[in-house]
Structure 1
Amino acid sequence: MRSTIATASLLSLALFTAAPYALAANSLVFCSEASPSGFDTAQYTSATDNDAAQPLYNRLAEFEKGGTVAIPALATSWDVSADGLVYTFHLREGVKFHSNKAFTPSRNFNADDVLFTFNRMLNTEHPFRLAYPTEFPYFTGMGMDKKIHSVTKSGPMTVVFTLNSVDAAFIQNLAMSFASILSAEYAEQLMAAGKARDINQQPIGTGPYIFQRYQKDAQIRYKGNPDYWAPEQVKLDQLIFAINTDASVRLQKLRKNECQVTLHPRPADVPGLKADPQLQVIESPGYNLGYISYNVRHAPLDKLAVRQALDMAVNKQAIIDAVYQGAGQKAVNGMPPSQWSYDSSIQDAPYNPDKARELLRAAGVKEGTELTLWAMPVQRPYNPNARLMAEMLQADWAKIGIKARIVSYEWGEYLKRSKNGEHDISLIGWTGDNGDPDNWLGTLYSCAAIGGNNYSMWCDEQYDRLIKSAIASTDRELRSGLYQQAQRYLKQQVPITPIAHSTVSQPLRADVQGFKVSPFGRNDFSGVSIVD
């Protein structure tokens, strides 16, 4: 099907400057907070990367806008075998891939594209993976490389996933960004030309918007897809991501109508935004967690008593008051209270610097021991001011004889180095991806997630047995019981200190319609328009 995209004046081809954009009619500028590392979503886990790729791709199933229910997308339906081990997906006919200067598709989307997308992640000897070696942290972090036995086709528009074990969250997992469907034909052309890496910087998808160009730390430009299979979702001629790391700059641009949507305002700015008649602020409870991650592979953090000491020396309420400024709820658990199976019986250890100092002495930790404390360089929904939080932690831990040296890097480098375990302690967080407890307890703290989102490098067999048993069952009551046991064990072992769940405030111009706040922290511009 072909959508009707209004003819508009061309965008200025000048690179981003401090001046306002020369905009085509029916265009939208999104003030983003950081530069993506690339557009091959299977490689990345941050919201910045996923947001930048969101306009370009589709998945077999996708989450309904603003909700947590997975609905058909590139698959129109699916069947599940009685034993829960075989999923048969029936694919959507007539879906077209994008084209660019180097690639024009010769066919529509079919089963071969699904096979390429997943077998590249599943098979370490896959030809494209050999041509472009990379890691897939979500795929392996959720253990999907172990759970999926095979991905095959039974016809040109039918794909069969056979699992080694039951995965109660399988459909939700396939609706996540890492499972975006790529073009097998484009991949073959890139390999033949010796340019396999271009799949990450010159992306081709089936999504509502087509990639035009990207300048790091400046802008990403997309244009409306005239051949999109759901034409009612393409309401903009041009979509621009203007990258601004400074929240005050983003706010200034929003007020001047130089961007129409932005994100992560400072809590102190929210009342003023709400009072501006030219703006609207959408608020929603945060499905998120900001926390401190202790690298248990680095001494003395390998000792439980040391982690307990650091945990009980954190003046959590003072941090919430200063950093979140009324927009944060104290966190005591490894996931938010709105997640089903949350164990409300879990309590924090009391704030007790004197006891903390005793624990450190008993563990043989000398006065003045230095540890690195990594602070994120960007605002996130779960942490609006990581630098201030780090400074407050530095002061808290100085009271018990620990010298915390604050370290920071550019956001992509920060994540890369953290996943490599270079930090002692890092400030990090998470916004849920699929509505299932495993997306917290498995994705963040399991053995399989080391090198992915397990920044504590914590691997515990007892904990892993609990979460593996839970994901292998379709009995929700049984799963809840196992996840609650896992939460209690996580709290006892202290690989993290939960700090807060924040309220999400999404500021945008009053004339923006169709934008919905995602519980997963994604900024999705399908179906979004500017109304005169």
Structure 2
Amino acid sequence: MTHKLTRTGPELTRRGLLQLAGAGAVLLGAAGCGTAGRAETGGATFVYGRSADATSLDPMNQTDSESYAVIHQIFDSLLRYAPDGTLLPALAAAVPAPENEGRQYTFELREDVRFHDGTPLDAEAVVFNFRRWRESDHPYHRGGGPQSSKFAYYKNLFGGFDDKSVISGVEAVGSHAVRFTLREPYGPFLPTLAGAQFGIASPTAIRQDVDGFWERPVGTGPFTLASWEHGSKITLRRNESWWGKRPTGPGRPVDTVVLTPMPDSTARVAALVGGGLDAVNGIVPQDADAIRDTSGFTVVQHPQECFSYFAMNTRRAPFQNPLVRKAIAHAIDLPTIVEHFFGERAEVAGAPLYGISAFVDRSIQPHPHDPELARKLLAEAGLPDGFRTSLWYMSTARPYLPDGKGVAQVAQANLADVGITAELVTYELATYSERTGKGLHDIAIYGGTTIGVDSYFPLNYWYASASATPESSSNLSFYQNSQVDALLAEARVTTDPEEQRALYANVQRIVHDEVPVLPIAYVSPPVALRSSVAGFGTNIAMDDLDALSR
């Protein structure tokens, strides 16, 4: 049986619904975060509706993109990414060259940079941050709030804490110079430091209240945190003493940014149309089409920075058997799912990696939809009558998954066609992440938003054996393959791009053949805006808001 979907035409029907809903949504927007564009502090205000609230604003103690989006405004890292993925200096005055055959790097810092609390950024501040992350017995190696990741990104990116860390030492070699010593050459070292999780925090603020820092962060970035009303809004104020150079727009500079969580996509878009919001993310393709057809609004697209997938839990029967995983890969109609739930700029994913990654292997083709082959593989696996399982999806829209329920329902129908009965299970985002991290799922829909074009981090994060931890696992298939581990270990210590390309391609092909995850889509997430907003950019993984005007 073939399942066909019908789309609601956006030209009149969808737009009309949104405009009708917008009449009430303006009240919601005004009650939740103030009238869009209102001058609250003498300048312009930008009100941004998004699918979820942040979980923690302590950079190294969170793992979700909604937290990243705020952290990116409050903190600066040593390096940053240009929109095309090129590395640029940030708090560092220049991108350093490797020394001692790639075992040392010396960063010269910008001078006259201050944290939001007025304390100076210097070499000792950078050393403090890295020692806090690296040393498990450091007095401030804690914090992050009730949903702390416990420095999971540092552990994953650098192999662990203390003696397990690739970084063996970090020291001040001048008032504004910091030297990193590595145990071995580490190819992804510089791209890694450009991530938002490596935002440099005020040592003074951490010492004063490390356990409360997650909701009262202090960085050097273009905005300061004014307030955080959990579940309601985050308000940011323009940092007039920011070291960076802001482009000048045609209107008034935005000095207040309000980020409001609204889980329902239609409600977000209706609030935009109704006047309660200036911009929204996490919108479904039909809404993006309707907004493009509505006067006074525009839609901008990020690059293919998002990637979505089905993770099959290889710790649970019958997913230990690769024949079962391959059967599921051929049972699910990916082209139909991507066409109807991800938008025209999305692409059915073949390689199990971000579409904009430097070393994504585009020659890897998606698993074709072939129900007959799926039934044959199930029979070979000893399951000619299929089996019962669960299929988990997020109830909250994500940039990599704008309509989790819709995707899950189509996949459920596809699986039923080959004899697999899948019960749909959903949770709100924080609970979903916690329970999948513990491996309580059978099949789970997940994904991510890249922090750059580096390929080592996502491949290691999703497919390395060491990432399949009992708690807070990032390897949601709990896949373990010694050949993949060896290839990643080899790629980590080479700085030759062509060697890296070959090694990463081998990893992608092994994962593709063994199917611990079924890639769904390379996603270019849309953001809908009022046409009166100027200067809104879409940097890799985060929106740069410092150039906004209206």
TM-score (norm 2): 0.86
AA in 1 matched with 2:227: R
**Structure 2 SS opposite 1:300:** coil
Query: C-alpha separation between the residues in 1 aligned to 2:334 and 2:149?
Result: 38
- Partner residue of 2:429? 411
Pick the aligned partner of 2:517 from 496, 506, 510. Answer: 496
**Paired residue for 1:527?**
547
**C-alpha contact (below 8 Å) 1:328/1:503 kept by paired residues:** yes
CA contact (8 A) 1:257 1:509 kept: no
Q: 2:526 aligns with which of 505, 521, 524?
A: 505
Paired with 1:44 and 1:130, the residues of 2 have a C-alpha distance of 12
Q: Could you tell me which amino acid in structure 2 is paired with residue 354 of structure 1?
A: E
SS class of match (1:221): strand
1:7 aligns with: none
Q: Which residue of 1 aligns with 2:486?
A: 465
**Aligned pair partner of 1:187 in 196, 206, 213:** 206
Q: Counterparts of 1:104-253 in structure 2 under 5 Å? A: 105=118, 107-129=119-141, 135-145=150-160, 146-190=165-209, 196-230=210-244, 232=246, 235-253=253-271
Q: Contact between 2:142 and 2:211, CA under 8 Å: does it hold in 1? A: no
Structure 1 residue 288, shift from structure 2 partner: 2.6
Measured after TM superposition, the shift of residue 271 of structure 1 is 2.7
Q: Structure 1 residues 468 and 109 mapped into 2: Cα distance closer, same or farther (>3 Å)?
A: same
Unpaired runs of at least 5, structure 1: 1-13, 100-104, 191-195
**1:378-411 Cα shifts (integer Å, max 9, x gaps):** 2223222110111111111122332212111111
- Name whichever of 394-403 and 332-341 sits farther off: 332-341
* 1:368 CA drift (Å): 6.3
Contact 2:143 2:214 in 1 (8 A): no
Structure 1 Cα separation of the partners of residues 33 and 194 of structure 2? 37
Question: More deviation in 15-24 or 503-512?
Answer: 15-24
Describe the shift of the 1:108–1:338 C-alpha distance in structure 2 as closer, same or farther (beyond 3 A): closer
**TM superposition shift of 1:291:** 0.9
Shift of 1:220: 0.6
Contact (CA 8 Å) 2:395, 2:429: kept in 1 or not?
yes
Answer whether contact 2:142 2:150 (CA < 8 A) is retained.
no
Letter of the structure 2 residue corresponding to residue 67 of structure 1: D
Deviation at 1:71, TM superposition (A): 1.2
Give the Cα–Cα distance (whole angstroms) in 2 for the partners of residues 79 and 342 of structure 1. 25
CA distance in 2, matches of 1:141, 1:170: 13
Following superposition, the deviation at residue 233 of structure 1 comes to 6.5
Q: For 1:433 and 1:17, locate their aligned partners in 2 and report how far apart those are by CA, in whole Å.
A: 30
Q: Give the counterpart letter for 2:544 in structure 1.
A: D
Contact residue 295 and residue 421 of structure 1 kept, 8 A = yes
1:172 counterpart letter in structure 2: P
* Residues in 2 aligned to 1:16 and 1:126: alpha-carbon distance in whole angstroms: 44
Deviations 1:273-300 (A, max 9, x none): 2233312222354233211111111222
**8 Å Cα contact 2:33-2:47 kept in structure 1:** no
The CA deviation at 1:428 is 0.9
Task: State the Cα distance separating 1:240 from its structure 2 match.
Answer: 0.6
Q: CA offset at residue 364 of structure 1?
A: 4.1
Instruction: Give the superposition deviation at 1:269.
Output: 2.1
Contact 1:147/1:165, CA 8 A, preserved across alignment: yes
SS of alignment partner, residue 408 of structure 1: strand
For the 8 Å contact 2:306–2:525, the answer to whether it is kept is no
Matched-pair contact (CA < 8 Å) for 2:350–2:367: no
Given the alignment of the two structures, is residue 311 of structure 1 paired with residue 329 of structure 2, yes or no? yes
Aligned to 1:423: 441
| 1:143 partner letter | F
- 1:152 is paired with a residue whose SS is strand
CA spacing shift, 1:81–1:302, aligned 2, 3 Å = same
CA 279–269 in structure 1, closer or farther in 2 if over 3 Å, else same? same
Unaligned runs of 5+ in 2: 1-28
Q: Is 2:307 the counterpart of 1:289?
A: yes
Contact residue 57 and residue 205 of structure 1 kept, 8 A: yes
Q: Please give the alpha-carbon distance, in whole angstroms, between the structure 2 residues aligned to 1:346 and 1:151.
A: 40
Does the aligned pair in 2 maintain the 1:142–1:449 contact within 8 Å? no
**In structure 2, distance between residues paired with 1:233 and 1:214:** 27
**Contact 2:306 2:355 survives alignment (8 Å):** no
The TM-score with structure 1 as length reference comes to: 0.88
Where 1:237 maps in the other structure, the secondary structure is strand
8 Å CA contact 2:78, 2:194 repeated in 1: yes
Number of equivalenced pairs: 504
Report the equivalent of 2:104. 86
CA distance in 2, matches of 1:57, 1:284: 21
Query: Retained in 1: the 8 A contact 2:173–2:179?
Result: yes
281-290 or 110-119, larger mean C-alpha shift: 281-290
1:288, 1:430 within 8 Å by CA — same for their partners in 2?
Answer: yes
Residues 116-146 of structure 1 deviation map (CA, whole Å, 9 limit, x = unaligned): 2222221111111257785222222223533
Change (3 A) 1:23 1:366: farther
Comparing 358-367 and 271-280, the one that deviates more? 358-367
Matched, 1:45 2:63: yes
2:177 & 2:382 partners in 1: Cα distance? 61
- 8 Å CA contact 2:188–2:454 kept in 1: the answer is yes
* CA deviation string 1:41-65 (max 9, x = no partner): 212222111012221111111123x
Deviations 1:462-505 (A, max 9, x none): 01111221232111111111111111111111111011223332
Residues 30 and 18 from structure 1, CA distance in 2 versus in 1: closer, same or farther, beyond 3 angstroms? Answer: closer
Counterpart CA distance in 1 for 2:58 and 2:438 is 20
One-letter identity of the residue aligned with 2:480: C
Bigger mean CA offset, 54-63 vs 344-353: 344-353
- Matched residue, 1:27: 45
Change in Cα spacing, 1:124 to 1:323, as seen in structure 2 (3 Å) is same
d(CA) in 2 for partners of 1:72 and 1:349? 40
Distance 2:213 2:172 in 1: 24
Question: Contact 2:333/2:414 (CA < 8 Å) preserved in 1?
Answer: yes
Structure 2 CA distance for partners of 1:202 and 1:287, relative to 1, 3 Å:
closer
Residue deviations 1:218-249 (CA, integer Å, cap 9, x gap): 11111112322236369422111011111112
Quick check: 1:72 aligned with 2:89? yes
Matches within 5 A, 1:283-362: 283-362=301-380
The answer as to whether partners of 1:356 and 1:400 remain within 8 angstroms in 2 is yes
CA distance in 1 between counterparts of 2:86 and 2:191 reads: 8
Moved more, 181-190 or 363-372: 363-372
Question: What do you get for the CA RMSD once the two structures are aligned?
Answer: 2.4
**C-alpha distance in 2, partners of 1:60/1:418?**
32
Q: Is the 8 A contact 1:182 1:204 kept in 2?
A: yes
Tell me the residue number matched to 2:405: 387
Rounded Cα–Cα distance in structure 1 between residues aligned with 2:515 and 2:149: 31
Deviation at 1:334, TM superposition (A): 0.7
Give the residue type in structure 2 aligned to 1:128: Y
> Would the alpha carbon gap of residues 350 and 261 (structure 1) be closer, same or farther in structure 2, given more than 3 Å must change?
closer
Once residues 208 and 338 of structure 1 are traced to their aligned partners in structure 2, the CA distance between those partners, rounded to angstroms, is: 26
CA shift, 1:108, in A, is: 0.8
- CA positional deviation for 1:264: 2.5
The question of whether the paired residues in 2 share the 8 Å contact of 1:141 and 1:453 is answered with no
